[in-house]
Structure 1
């Protein structure tokens, strides 16, 4: 018996395409002291507003950051960002670079990376999700579910008032 006669319909789940870029960047300690790091930039249609960065530290740990894709792109064109993320294009010798300053809990790191490779990769993400259409790509039911998860079952408070 065909599936439609049973009332069963296959639900097409969206396939989320992803793009990633592995890039070497330098952590700048002083003008003459740099520590190389590997970072992977990840973008997926499932989270169209963000670019995830995974830094591989010299001791083998991974540190993750999430940035706005728009902020990252704007930083390749002109100084951008406030607070804990600041980006600006520059030139080192004859090479176009992007400087990225990340700050957390009173500490900051300054990184330098190849601007042209990052721009080329970012343009590829715009082919997956065109700028200005990101919110149409969102699974709003999943967003609401993640925001409300646990609201009906708050953690049990321990102490004299419980």
Structure 2
């Protein structure tokens, strides 16, 4: 994996209860071949922990305002309350997890590496699917 496509391993935290957490390494990956999404993985944990793929725009929006509906929701840091971490809620079949990661390196990585590889709004130029052609095909009933 090229270094341009991944954050360094971040010091994440898995929240267990009010004020209780365990340290959890987190890394975000971005592949220009899948330009609309990022992958959040947990290096050093076995495959059962898994990885989560979700919208790159959702991650960016979550740095600024509460974002997401469904399986992935993100809340921005709140400096007023001394919170400098991005909070990411993951909901799956086995339950819900709240993960916190430092916001600054995520923001820097998105701006400096991910958006440098594929600028926001230009994802369709890199997508493997020609959405215009697919829409035309669907409208024509083929």
TM over 0.5: yes
Gap regions ≥5 residues in structure 1: 1-15, 142-162
Distance 2:60 2:104 in 1: 12
Post-superposition offset of 1:37: 0.7
Distance 2:125 2:90 in 1: 30
Query: After the TM superposition, which of the residue ranges 63-72 and 84-93 deviates more from structure 2?
Result: 84-93
Q: What is the TM-score when the length of structure 1 is the normalising length?
A: 0.69
Post-superposition offset of 1:18: 4.3
Query: Which residue does the alignment assign to 2:5?
Result: 19
Q: Does 1:84 align with 2:71?
A: yes
Superposition pairs of residues 1-162 of structure 1, within 5 angstroms: 18-21=4-7, 22-56=9-43, 60-62=45-47, 63-91=50-78, 94-105=82-93, 107-124=95-112, 125-140=114-129
Runs of 4 or more consecutive aligned structure 1 residues displaced over 3 Å after TM superposition: 91-95
Contact 2:72–2:88 (CA<8 Å) still a contact in 1? yes
Post-superposition offset of 1:127: 1.1
Q: Secondary structure at the match of 1:44?
A: coil
Q: Which has the higher contact order (CA 8 A, sep 6+)?
A: 2
More strand by share: 1
Post-superposition offset of 1:90: 2.6
Contact 2:87–2:99 (CA<8 Å) still a contact in 1? yes
- State the aligned residue count: 124
Q: Secondary structure at the match of 1:121?
A: helix
More helix by share: 2
Q: Quick check: which has more Rg, 1 or 2?
A: 1
